């Protein structure tokens, strides 16, 4: 029989208890995730249907005789649009899903009425947010794998670039994407109108980061805005790494920017979380929705 | 004077229940004003990438390639109109299936179900606010979209409303069946998102359906919404139609009758199944 002193419960705060709490959040989120089997449908269908809308519109714009496509090629210097749109929309989907899943994780607890009681437990509160992002990251890596395969086999996209360089860009992008998710989740606890903020953030990415067109088409002021968004570098980096043979030197700048943005957004996410969490407790807004 | 309460169900009590449902949803919707504002901007944001992409395919703002399929070089008016109609279509999708899921999550589904109100009325009530809100936001979207992207409609607006009526009523039938499926599987997001997105693609909300690859064209032609969108566009911006307009109208009326019948039958049967399983209060 174990002695009473060896029992490590959550009531004895410490690193071990924090890790236990973190793992409990990860397990709970994973159970909730697989509880609704429709995620399997989403995993296979979204990568196909989301870019399809834009690809088919581009097909219609090309015209029956391809005259529109010739104009497109003259304007952008691109030979084909399918792979270009597929990669751009996939990155957008990633950020969008993170905003909904990670950004909503605390808000969902607020709506279910469990946030306040969880908050009273003697755990590191950031672990609720961090823990909910781990199953999400796993599901997103699965989504990217499925997307790549579907683009190659269904859309006949020719990935002539390097798999390792593509993975490197994705790895460098993770801190930025999830840092934005953390910052977003923190804002939502207090401001509550989560939908509006998801729409705003994903809308900015959609308009400014060139998911379906080269940035050169945008007016100069919009191009300036795009330079301040990490997704611009993710999209450019993944397109270059996966669709061209330009090599590491062509993505070096994107990687550098993503590392800088990653540090910035993780710091902003953590800072905002602490600030908003404190504010919500002071105003008593934790349990409200 | 005789009091007519909800415990003595009749037409008047049903109407009051409907009014209460609409008022509750209306109040809840406007309680979050930022969400309301974003619903005007959101569809415009979705079509912004198409606008910029379209510029790359156009010469002096005219999409000549696009006109070979649609009969108009003004691709943004084509898309803006499709987006507005799609918002109404989604209002029925979301308005019923998604509202039921919200009721399940907030724990009021079972208690609402115990009230002596026809269950289809609960579904209709949930969709009315959505339709009202969609009408307001669509107007805002057309004005704003017209200013940003340009919108030029030269046709007869009253004639354009004619195909909308059977199309929307038919959608109610579809919405009833869909809501019942949501009750059964207790998950709405993926179903709603995927199905509305697929319908949006195949009914030609953003492009003329004859631009679809040949093997996908039958899917578009099998959807009655395709003819609804096609008719409205032909009336308002003079695009080429897939079938002659009277034929499209006839198909929409058939769709309305068939879908209302299938929808109500499916809803009644699945709703009974959910009650038998005892899963009404679960989510």
Q: Please indicate if any CB of chain A lies within 8 Å of the CB of B215.
A: no
- B50 and A212 within 8 Å at the Cβ level: the answer is yes
- B50 and A57 within 8 Å at the Cβ level: the answer is yes
The mean of the pLDDT values for chain B is 84
Q: Please indicate if any CB of chain B lies within 8 Å of the CB of A32.
A: no
**What pLDDT does residue A129 have?**
84
Of A68, A192, A218, the CB nearest to B64: A68
Question: Is A133 part of a structural domain of the chain?
Answer: yes
Instruction: Give the range of the structural domain holding residue A59, as residue numbers without chain letter.
Output: 15-282
Q: Please indicate if any CB of chain B lies within 8 Å of the CB of A227.
A: no
The answer to whether residue A22 scores a pLDDT higher than 50 is yes
B98, two tokens = 């998604």
**What pLDDT does residue A2 have?**
46
For chain B positions 151-190, those within 8 Å of chain A (CB to CB) are 185-187, 189-190
For chain B positions 99-158, those within 8 Å of chain A (CB to CB) are 105-106
Segment A223-235 shows an average pLDDT of 94
List C-alpha distances in Å: A16 to A21, A58, A117, A124, B259.
9, 54, 21, 11, 59
The answer to whether residue B264 scores a pLDDT higher than 60 is yes
For chain B positions 233-272, those within 8 Å of chain A (CB to CB) are none
User: CA nearest B17: which of B30, B4, B27?
Assistant: B4
- B65 and A45 within 8 Å at the Cβ level: the answer is no
pTM of the model: 0.79
The answer to whether residue B189 scores a pLDDT higher than 60 is yes
More confident residue, B107 or A254: A254
Segment A183-208 shows an average pLDDT of 80
Q: Please indicate if any CB of chain B lies within 8 Å of the CB of A72.
A: yes
**What pLDDT does residue B198 have?**
86
Most confident of A118-122, B171-175, B261-265: B261-265
**What pLDDT does residue B125 have?**
87
Q: Among all residues of chain A, which has the CA nearest to that of B33?
A: A193
Render pLDDT for B10-36 as a digit per residue (tens, 0 to 9). Answer: 888 888 889 998 998 888 888 877 777
> E strands within A58-199?
none
B236, two tokens = 């308002």
Percent of chain A residues past pLDDT 70, beyond the cut: 93
The answer to whether residue B5 scores a pLDDT higher than 70 is no
3-state helix, strand, coil split of chain A in percent (to 5) is 80, 0, 20
Of A39, A62, A218, the CB nearest to B52: A218
- Residue whose entry in the numeric block shows the structure tokens 């980061």: A209
Least trusted range by pLDDT, from A200-214, A227-241, B37-51? B37-51
In this prediction, residue A1 has a pLDDT band, given cuts at 50, 70 and 90, of very low
Question: Is A155 part of a structural domain of the chain?
Answer: yes
> Exposed e or buried b for every residue in B168-182, given b needs 16+ CB within 10 A?
bbbbbbbbbbbbbbb
- A71 and B207 within 8 Å at the Cβ level: the answer is no
- A71 and B66 within 8 Å at the Cβ level: the answer is no
- Residue whose entry in the numeric block shows the structure tokens 């299938």: B262
- B49 and A213 within 8 Å at the Cβ level: the answer is yes
Three-state SS string over chain B comes to CCCCCCCCCCHHHHHHHHHHHHHHHHHHHHCCHHHHHHHHHHHHHHHHHHHHHHHHHCECCECHHHHHHHCCCCHHHHHHHHHHHHHHHHHHHHHHHHHHHHHHHCCCHHHHHCCCCCHHHHHHHHHHHHHHHHHHHHHHHHHHHHHHCCCCCCCCHHHHHHHHHHHHHHHHHHHHHHHHHHHHHCCCHHHHHHHHHHHHHHCCCCCCHHHCCCCCHHHHHHCHHHHHHHHHHHHHHCCCCCCCHHHHHHHHHHHHHHHHHHHHHHHHHHHHHHHHHCCCCCC
Calculate how close chain B gets to A8, using CA atoms only, in Å: 34
Question: Is A288 part of a structural domain of the chain?
Answer: no
A38, two tokens = 């429709």
Question: Is A240 part of a structural domain of the chain?
Answer: yes
Choose the mutation target among B42, B54, B65, B199 for the interface with A, i.e. most A CBs under 10 Å: B65
**What pLDDT does residue A193 have?**
65
User: CA nearest B189: which of A66, A207, A101?
Assistant: A101
**What pLDDT does residue A171 have?**
95
The answer to whether residue B77 scores a pLDDT higher than 70 is yes
The answer to whether residue A243 scores a pLDDT higher than 60 is yes
Question: Is A136 part of a structural domain of the chain?
Answer: yes
Alpha-carbon span B60 to B123, nearest angstrom:
48
B119, two tokens = 């269950």
Question: Is A4 part of a structural domain of the chain?
Answer: no
The answer to whether residue A289 scores a pLDDT higher than 70 is no
- B32 and A196 within 8 Å at the Cβ level: the answer is yes
In this prediction, residue A119 has a pLDDT band, given cuts at 50, 70 and 90, of confident
Question: Is A106 part of a structural domain of the chain?
Answer: yes
- B65 and A69 within 8 Å at the Cβ level: the answer is yes
Calculate how close chain A gets to B258, using CA atoms only, in Å: 28
Task: Enumerate the residues of chain A whose CB falls inside 8 A of the CB of residue B65.
Answer: 60-69, 71
Calculate how close chain B gets to A36, using CA atoms only, in Å: 7
- A42 and B201 within 8 Å at the Cβ level: the answer is no
Choose the mutation target among A49, A54, A56 for the interface with B, i.e. most B CBs under 10 Å: A56
Instruction: Give phi and psi for B241, each to the nearest 5.
Output: -105, 160
DSSP code at position A81: S
User: CA nearest B108: which of B7, B25, B174, B34?
Assistant: B25
B79 with B47: CB under 8 angstroms?
Answer: yes
The mean of the pLDDT values for chain A is 85
Render pLDDT for A64-85 as a digit per residue (tens, 0 to 9). Answer: 888 888 888 887 777 778 888 9
Alpha-carbon span B93 to B90, nearest angstrom:
5
Choose the mutation target among B35, B36, B52 for the interface with A, i.e. most A CBs under 10 Å: B52
**What pLDDT does residue B3 have?**
55
Q: Please indicate if any CB of chain B lies within 8 Å of the CB of A53.
A: yes
For chain B positions 48-77, those within 8 Å of chain A (CB to CB) are 48-50, 52-59, 63-70, 75
CA dihedral sign of residues A7, A12, A18, A21: positive
Q: Please indicate if any CB of chain A lies within 8 Å of the CB of B206.
A: yes
In this prediction, residue B188 has a pLDDT band, given cuts at 50, 70 and 90, of low
Of A66, A195, A206, the CB nearest to B49: A206
Segment A124-134 shows an average pLDDT of 84
Segment A153-174 shows an average pLDDT of 91
Question: Is A254 part of a structural domain of the chain?
Answer: yes
Percent of chain B residues past pLDDT 90, beyond the cut: 15
More confident residue, B152 or B241: B241
Of B52, B68, B198, the CB nearest to A63: B68
Q: Please indicate if any CB of chain B lies within 8 Å of the CB of A215.
A: no
Render pLDDT for B201-250 as a digit per residue (tens, 0 to 9). Answer: 899 888 999 889 888 899 999 888 899 999 999 999 888 899 999 999 99
* Complex ipTM > 0.85: no
- A212 and B75 within 8 Å at the Cβ level: the answer is no
In chain A, how many domains are there? Answer: 1
Segment B95-102 shows an average pLDDT of 80
């Amino acid at each position: 029989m174990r002695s009473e002193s060896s029992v490590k419960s959550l009531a004895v705060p410490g690193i071990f208890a924090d890790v236990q709490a973190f793992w409990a959040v990860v397990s709970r989120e994973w159970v909730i995730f697989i509880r609704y089997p429709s995620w399997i449908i989403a995993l296979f269908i979204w990568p196909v249907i989301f870019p399809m809308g834009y690809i088919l519109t581009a097909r219609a714009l090309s015209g029956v005789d391809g005259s529109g496509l010739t104009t497109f090629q003259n304007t952008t210097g691109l030979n084909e649009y399918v792979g270009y749109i597929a990669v751009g929309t996939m990155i957008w989907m990633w950020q969008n899903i993170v905003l909904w899943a990670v950004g909503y994780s605390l808000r969902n607890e607020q709506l279910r009425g469990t946030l306040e009681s969880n908050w009273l437990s003697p755990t590191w509160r950031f672990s609720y947010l961090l823990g909910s992002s781990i199953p999400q990251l796993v599901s997103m890596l699965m989504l990217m794998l499925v997307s790549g395969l579907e683009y190659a086999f269904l859309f006949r996209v020719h990935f002539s670039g390097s798999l390792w360089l593509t993975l490197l860009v994705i790895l460098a992008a993770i801190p930025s994407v999830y840092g934005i998710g953390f910052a977003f989740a923190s804002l939502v606890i207090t401001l509550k109108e989560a939908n509006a903020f998801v729409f705003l953030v994903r809308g900015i990415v959609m308009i400014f980061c060139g998911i379906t067109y080269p940035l050169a088409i945008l007016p100069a002021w919009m191009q300036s805005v795009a330079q301040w968004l990490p997704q611009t570098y993710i999209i450019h980096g993944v397109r270059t790494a996966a669709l061209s043979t330009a090599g590491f030197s062509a993505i070096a700048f994107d990687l550098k920017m993503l590392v800088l943005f990653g540090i910035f957004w993780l710091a902003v996410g953590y800072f905002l979380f602490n600030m908003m969490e404190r504010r919500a407790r002071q105003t008593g807004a934790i349990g409200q929705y | 004077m005789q009091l007519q309460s909800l415990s003595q169900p009749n037409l008047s009590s049903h109407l009051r229940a409907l009014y209460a449902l609409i008022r509750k949803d209306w109040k809840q919707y406007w309680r979050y004003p930022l969400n309301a504002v974003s619903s005007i901007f959101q569809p415009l944001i979705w079509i912004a990438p198409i606008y910029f992409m379209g510029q790359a395919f156009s010469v002096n703002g005219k999409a000549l390639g696009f006109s070979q399929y649609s009969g108009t070089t003004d691709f943004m008016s084509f898309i803006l109109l499709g987006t507005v109609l799609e918002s109404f279509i989604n209002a029925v999708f979301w308005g019923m299936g998604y509202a039921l899921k919200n009721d399940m999550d907030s724990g009021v589904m079972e208690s609402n179900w115990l009230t002596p109100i026809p269950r289809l009325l609960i579904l209709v009530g949930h969709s009315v606010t959505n339709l009202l809100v969609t009408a307001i936001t669509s107007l805002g979207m057309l004005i704003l979209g017209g200013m940003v992207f340009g919108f030029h409609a030269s046709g007869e607006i009253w004639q354009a409303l004619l195909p909308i009526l059977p199309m929307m009523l038919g959608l109610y039938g579809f919405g009833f069946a869909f809501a019942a499926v949501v009750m059964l599987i207790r998950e709405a997001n993926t179903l709603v998102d995927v199905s509305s997105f697929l319908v949006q693609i195949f009914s030609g909300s953003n492009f003329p359906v004859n631009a679809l690859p040949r093997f996908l064209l039958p899917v578009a032609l099998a959807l009655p919404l395709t003819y609804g969108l096609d008719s409205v566009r032909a009336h308002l911006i003079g695009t080429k139609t897939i079938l002659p307009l009277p034929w499209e109208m006839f198909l929409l009326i058939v769709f309305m009758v068939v879908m209302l019948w299938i929808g109500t039958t499916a809803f009644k049967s699945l709703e009974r199944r959910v009650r038998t399983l005892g899963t009404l209060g679960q989510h």
